[in-house]
Structure 1
Amino acid sequence: MNDQPDSPQGEGIRLQKVLAAAGIASRRASELLIEEGRVEVNGRIVTEQGLRVDPEKDTIRVDGSRIPSPRHHLYLVMNKPRGVVSTMEDPEGRKTLLDYLPRLKERIFHVGRLDTDTEGLILLTNDGEFAHRMAHPSYEVPKTYSVQAAGVMDNRTLKRLEKGVTLDDGPVKPDKVKLVSRGANKTLVEVSLHEGRNRIVRRMFDTVGHPVDRLARTAIGPVRLGTLPVGEIRELTREELGELLDLVGM
């Protein structure tokens, strides 16, 4: 970051220009944000005008929210249909994620995976470092699932899930277990956890005697599936990407 006033010889880009380019506000409105002490660069509140920054390297926040650097990569959200394989090609000829992607020049890959029978939110990107960190267990990015389990689960079983169960590869304790509804021989439960072991949600419910009939991932960190139709794709919003970058230390 360069603290020198705006000048033709100065390095970097004026902070208000960076904010305007990010869609935060017009340049004049961005200047007001700076005057009001609502803008932070590398952990320091900035109130002077004309400060030059490097949006590729400096960490910029407005009202505490991270403003990502200009995008040089794709960051996509997909609502994966049930029955689709979480790969870009399949030797058995089954439908893959690639069947739902537009033709792109860049090589794109999925962040983590979903079982073939699991639907819902999956991230796609061509940013290798981002994908690596998102999938790495040390960053503990939380994920939320909507679970339709067989049978009517009583409160005691729900409490058992909430306290954690032991699987064949070790114990697992969800961050949250919330009963959504009980119906005719089925129970809907929302489960949040930050682990990503293979088929972990299905194995948790098998352990308590209520196999999963249907499973959908509805959120990864701040990114929510919302009303995105099955099989459709959208870009991450600025706010979503900023929060994810913070979560994985980028």
Structure 2
Amino acid sequence: MKKVRATLDRVLSKAGIASRTTTRAWIVQGRVKVNGRIIRNPDHWVESAKDVVHLDGLRVREEKKIYIVLNKPTGVVTSFGDNKDRPTVYDYLKQLERWVFPVGRLDMDTSGLLILTNDTEFGEALLQPESKVPKTYYVKVSGVLTLEEYFQLAGGLDIGRGERSGPCIVHEVRSTDKYTWFELTITEGKNRQVRRMCDAIGHPVLKLVRIRVGRLQLDDLPIGKFRILSNKEAQTARSL
């Protein structure tokens, strides 16, 4: 019987966990064990017939692709671990036995729809800038927006750090004499983009919830809960 051998970084990437560049970094960090022993060499040879690989305590297999949507709470970071001991999205996935990674990030103070998967091709396709996948947010800001400020948001504006936001769709939901609520749909993924857009027009964000990616919506999924998507549902996240 022919032995199937591959380097450790290749085994992890083929399992759909992350790119080889990312998995090499994880191995060097000591997050990977082979047969119960920490291996820090990404080029370590593994034989699939006899060697058992674990990442962060979870066994690694080339498994069926899985797609998850989590309604991320505020105050939670989008990473596996945190050096400040803050809660992470993985605290809400403890009953899930398969490894998944987040497709993009939501900052700690932003809640809402977060996709996690073990399908690296799917994740990379969603994150490619040229894919222009629309992401819709429910936004509450301080103050009342003028018509001119809505036009500024919709048309694109300077958001600092030498960056400019592109055109987007803005739809007012309601307003009072102190606050405004609106939906904002962007097709970019600049760091903290929505907050920076609102800061640029002088209306700081008080609440930010991502409610839709492509045509995939949160619907009535409770905060802090997740559900497994069908393959067909997952593909709606890539729909324009």
What SS class does the counterpart of residue 153 from structure 1 fall into? coil
What SS class does the counterpart of residue 178 from structure 1 fall into? strand
Q: Which residue of 2 aligns with 1:120?
A: 112
The equivalences for 1:84-233 within 5 A come to 84-168=76-160, 169-233=162-226
Deviations 1:200-248 (A, max 9, x none): 000000000101011010000011011111001012244422334667x
Q: Which one-letter code corresponds to 1:175 in the other structure? A: C
Q: Which one-letter code corresponds to 2:115 in the other structure? A: L
Deviations 1:20-67 (A, max 9, x none): xxxxxxxxxxxxxxxxxxxxxxxxxxxxxxxxxxxxxxxxxxxxxxxx
Q: Which one-letter code corresponds to 2:228 in the other structure? A: E
Distance 2:155 2:167 in 1: 8
Percent identity between matched residues is 40
Q: How far has the Cα of 1:124 moved from its partner?
A: 0.6
What SS class does the counterpart of residue 216 from structure 1 fall into? strand
Residues 93 and 123 (structure 1), Cα distance of their counterparts in 2 relative to 1, 3 Å cut? same
What SS class does the counterpart of residue 148 from structure 2 fall into? helix
Contact 2:133 2:213 in 1 (8 A): yes
Residues 184 and 178 (structure 1), Cα distance of their counterparts in 2 relative to 1, 3 Å cut? same
Q: Which one-letter code corresponds to 1:140 in the other structure? A: K
Contact 1:149 1:210 in 2 (8 A): yes
Distance 1:138 1:173 in 2: 13
Q: How far has the Cα of 1:103 moved from its partner?
A: 3.2
Q: How many residues align?
A: 177
Distance 1:194 1:245 in 2: 12
Deviations 1:164-191 (A, max 9, x none): 1122232213431011111141000100
Q: How far has the Cα of 1:156 moved from its partner?
A: 1.8
Q: Which residue of 2 aligns with 1:4?
A: none
Distance 2:137 2:114 in 1: 12
Max Rg structure: 1
RMSD, aligned CA: 1.7
